[in-house]
Amino acid sequence: MTQNFDAITLGAELSQLNPRKYKILLVVSEVYRQQLWMYENESKRIDDRIVSINQPHIRPIVRGKAGKPVEFGAKISVSCFDNYVFLDHLSWDNFNESGDFQAQIEAYKSFTGYYPDSVHVDKIYRTRVNRAWCKERGIRISGSPLGRPPKNVSPETKKQAQDDEKFRSIIEGKFGQAKRRYSLNNIMSKLSSTSETSIAITFLVINLSRLLQQVYCLFMSLFYYLAKFGLNSEHCIISANI
């Protein structure tokens, strides 16, 4: 007759596990606890639900998009001005982007010394609190006002709305550039820290690419000017002491 003994009975100790296996053991134990809780409480959701054993920091984020109602991965909030992109908020948990709005505007003021004349944001940012905050500081926020839309809209208002939407499309283009050209949509890092670093480096490279483009345009403009109008060699002596 064969007797079955578990590993603990046979003298196994958790200290014998390497760090990776010990982490997986803890994750599996937490997954079991979550599943048991949902079964006993007849619930389909639980806070901080683990959906990946190898990447327990990943959370399911309900987005409500067509064809992809739930997304997995980090959620980021970014701002853009002068075609430079700034990563303002990165989290593996779901959050409301509108809560970052005022901090992003204050960061712009801290960087430039003044508030922007206008901000062009998605609908989720256009809350009553953010609208009132912008009004107090003389900042025009894009989008239609709250309430029932007016029946008669002036041509100037329509043109302003079109220009605002075109201007806001810049940040959408930056996301597309980051995903298609710089593999933001294909982060292969396993750890949360390395994934966050990869995301931050992606936006850093985008900004460096923008800076290189500006330097190249400046160089070509200078080259064209010198080629067209000529250069007096007497005023082009460079002295350096090494």
pLDDT at 11 over 80: no
pLDDT of residue 207: 92
Contact at 8 Å (CB) between 108 and 85?
Answer: no
Q: What percent of the chain is helix, strand and coil (3-state, nearest 5)?
A: 50, 10, 35
Contact at 8 Å (CB) between 115 and 108?
Answer: yes
pLDDT at 128 over 60: yes
pLDDT band at residue 144 under the 50/70/90 scheme: confident
The pTM for the full model equals 0.75
Could you give the CA distance from residue 169 to residue 174 in angstroms, rounded to a whole number?
9
pLDDT of residue 212: 92
Could you give the CA distance from residue 213 to residue 36 in angstroms, rounded to a whole number?
56
Mean pLDDT, rounded, for 26-43: 90
pLDDT of residue 232: 54
For the segment 212-237, what is each residue's pLDDT rounded down to a tens digit?
Answer: 988 888 888 887 777 776 655 454 44
Residue with tokens 């801290």: 110
Mean pLDDT, rounded, for 202-218: 90
pLDDT of residue 222: 82
Q: Are strands 118-119 and 140-141 parallel, antiparallel or unpaired?
A: parallel
Q: Please give the backbone phi and psi of residue 72, each rounded to the nearest 5 degrees, phi first.
A: -125, 135
88 burial level (CB within 10 Å; 0-12, 13-18, 19+): middle
pLDDT at 83 over 80: yes
- Please, what is the average pLDDT of the chain? 82
CA atoms within 13 A on the CB side of 146: 9
The residue that leads in pLDDT, 67 or 236, is 67
pLDDT at 149 over 50: yes
Domain boundaries, the chain: 1-56
